[in-house]
Amino acid sequence: MINCRIRSIQRRLSLVLLAASLVVRIASQGVQAGDSTNRPPAPRRPSILLIVADDLGYGDLGCYGQKQIKTPNIDQLAAQGMRFTSFYAGSATGLPSRAVLLTGLHTGHARIRGNSSVCLQAEDLTAAQLLKSANYATGAIGVWGLGNEGSPGMPRRQGFDEWFGYLDENEADNYYPKFLNRSEGEKVKEQPIDENRGGGQGRYADDYFTFAGTNFLRISRPAFFNHYRPFFLYLPYTIARANHKLGAETGNGMEVPEDAPYSAEQWPQVEKNKAAMITRLDRYVGMLQDRLKELKCLDNTIIIITSANGPHNEGGVNPKFFHSAGPLRGIKRDLYEGGIRVPLIVSWPARIRPGSVSDLPCASWDFLATAVEIAGQPAPTKTDGVSLFPTLTGQTQTNRHEFLYWESHEDGFKQAARMGDWKALRFGVDGPLELYNLKTDLGETANLADKNPEVIARISEYLKTARTEDANWPVKTAAESPRKEYGK
């Protein structure tokens, strides 16, 4: 009898020790387990939430100097994380900018360099594909534009497990669509929006995207005793683009369900709507944060907020009304700073020191290299980007860009390059270079080309090799590229 009891105790003790060893082993693999503070320890690899606004200017957020438009959630996120003051979009328009962001190739090398029907191909490599290969759950919700149904550029064929939103870039102007697209295996299925099918304004698209985004976070959150699997959620919102057709018909192309909290302001209605759209985006950021808190994975989720390009003057909007470009010259479609320098806020409570500010010149094509290092994967060989991981984690950024490069195929051909504090641009491949010192002249008011021939010579030499030839994106001469500024 005694021996039986001893053997029973030994079996129970063995089970306890086995359970304890499993907990230790699972924790060492990065599984979230509760602690005495009801807060999970930071797993080895963080999740990534990438929020990309459209046409949101450098000066449209409170943390970048905006005084009238309210963005408390984004401002708080900046206070808790890192704010970049010299970050650039991949292009001065949204479609090529999003292609640059996902592929890590600037517009001199990217498959998509402008607004056209060109789509990503099977041989193109995206951040989503690399993160998926590192066992990240991947989702994209919002506006795509990089390949329609049946093409190699479809989201599912470019690394995203889940997709929901506007597949076609041209459909995204309408904030009250009759249907959206969602992935169903290798197929794309139309999701009817019944509230809008009668021609009314029932369901706002970006509300739908946020709801789908919070659902993705809930479903993707790892459960205790399961293998830890981080997620990558890409949320390319349509705010704050204009509905061009509506703007032409009514003078107000900024569609929004309500203009609160600006209804009492003595502003033009179109400006009330723009402000309400940006504040609505801020509300979405708060909702996504709340869901991450609820799921106890906020501390080790990297939240990135940026914009595809600078502010626009479409749909009746005057970008000067709210000083949407801040102190910068130019707007959307310009290669002056206002068209391409955009906000970048990165929050990572587990690693980033609160209130950090970086003036490191960097660009959206750095995202792929950064994400891959965050995921603990080898650095990609085919990229124009550098990893910003050292800057994010308070280390010395030894790998820096010597040059940043852009080209535009809107109204001819334009090129721009930044080298240190120097910024040069030209209209037409044979046009004269304008040169500005951004350290002393952020507004690009004084062309210093004649006074700095050595700098001009160095940038001119770089421009000879900055791009690869592509039949879809031919260069044009100055005679074919009229000198036009959209911000004038």
Work out the number of other CB atoms within 10 angstroms of the CB of residue 41.
14
Neighbours of 96 (CB within 10 A): 32
Phi, psi of 474 (to 5 degrees): -75, 150
- Classify residue 186 by its DSSP letter: T
Q: Tokens representing 449?
A: 């080309």
Alpha carbon 55 to chain centroid distance? Answer: 12
CATH number assigned to the domain comprising residue 473: 3.30.1120.10
Q: Where are the beta strands (DSSP E) in 291-332?
A: 301-307
Instruction: Name residues whose C-beta falls within 8 Å of residue 258's C-beta, 6 or more positions apart in sequence.
Output: 276
Rounded to an integer, the average pLDDT of 140-165 is 94
- Which of 359, 375, 401 is where one domain is finished? 401
pLDDT in tens, 375-421: 999 888 899 999 999 999 999 999 999 999 999 999 999 999 999 99
Kindly state whether residue 282 falls inside one of the protein's structural domains: yes
Structural domain contains residue 322: yes
Q: Among residues 381, 401, 421, which one ends one of the domains?
A: 401
In a domain, 309, yes or no: yes
Domain co-membership, 353 together with 265: yes
User: 195-209, 385-399, 402-416, 424-438 — which is least confidently predicted?
Assistant: 195-209
124 is a domain residue: yes
Number of domains forming the structure of the chain: 2
Let me know whether 231 and 243 are in one domain. Answer: yes
Do 157 and 222 sit in the same domain of this protein?
yes
Is 476 contained in some domain? Answer: yes
Residue 300 lies in a domain: yes
Residue numbers of the domain that contains 424: 405-480
Flag whether 36 is in a domain.
no
State whether 389 and 414 are in the same domain: no
Q: What is the pLDDT of residues 305-356, one digit of tens each?
A: 999 999 999 999 999 999 999 999 999 999 999 999 999 999 999 999 999 9
- Both 443 and 334 in one domain: the answer is no
> SS3 breakdown of the chain: % helix, strand, coil, rounded to 5?
30, 15, 50
Both 327 and 289 in one domain: the answer is: yes
Is 269 found in the same domain as 167? yes
Planar angle of CA 397, 380, 151, nearest 5 degrees: 130
Characterise 251 by phi-psi region: left (phi > 0), alpha (psi -120 to 50), beta (else).
Answer: left
Domain termination site, one of 401, 431, 456: 401
| Average pLDDT over every residue of 256-277 | 96
Given pLDDT bands bounded at 50, 70 and 90, which one contains residue 122? very high
Q: Identify the band that residue 226 occupies on the pLDDT scale cut at 50, 70 and 90.
A: low
Same domain, 461 and 331: no
- State whether 227 and 113 are in the same domain: yes
Helices (H), 199-268: 205-220, 244-250
User: What distance, in Å, lies between the first and last C-alpha atoms of the chain?
Assistant: 96
- State residue 379's pLDDT score: 84
CA 346 – CA 303 distance, rounded (Å)? 6
Mean pLDDT of the residues in the chain: 90
Residue 54 to residue 317: CA distance in whole angstroms: 14
145: domain CATH number is: 3.40.720.10
Mean pLDDT value of segment 24-45: 39
Same domain, 223 and 347: yes
Average pLDDT over residues 280-293: 97
Peptide bond between residue 240 and the one before it cis (omega within 30 degrees of 0) = yes
Of residues 34 and 121, more confidently modeled: 121
Structure tokens at 478: 């100055």
CA 84 to the chain's CA centroid: 13
User: Is pLDDT of 74 > 90?
Assistant: yes
- Asked if residue 207 belongs to a domain, the reply is yes
Please tell me whether residues 82 and 193 are part of one structural domain: yes
What local confidence, expressed as pLDDT, does residue 10 receive?
A: 43
Instruction: Note the pLDDT of residue 304.
Output: 98
Range with the poorest average pLDDT among 68-77, 193-202, 412-421: 193-202
Closest CA to 357 of 88, 79, 89, 90: 79
Instruction: Please tell me what DSSP assigns to residue 266.
Output: -
User: CA-to-CA distance for 349 and 25, rounded, in angstroms?
Assistant: 25
Distance, in Å, from the CA atom of 360 to the CA atom of 84, rounded to the nearest integer, reads: 7
Q: How does DSSP classify residue 341?
A: B
The answer on 278 and 153 residing in a single domain is: yes
Query: How far is residue 373's CA from residue 385's CA, in Å, rounded to a whole number?
Result: 12
* Residue 71 neighbours by CB distance under 10 Å: 25
Neighbours of 179 (CB within 10 A): 15
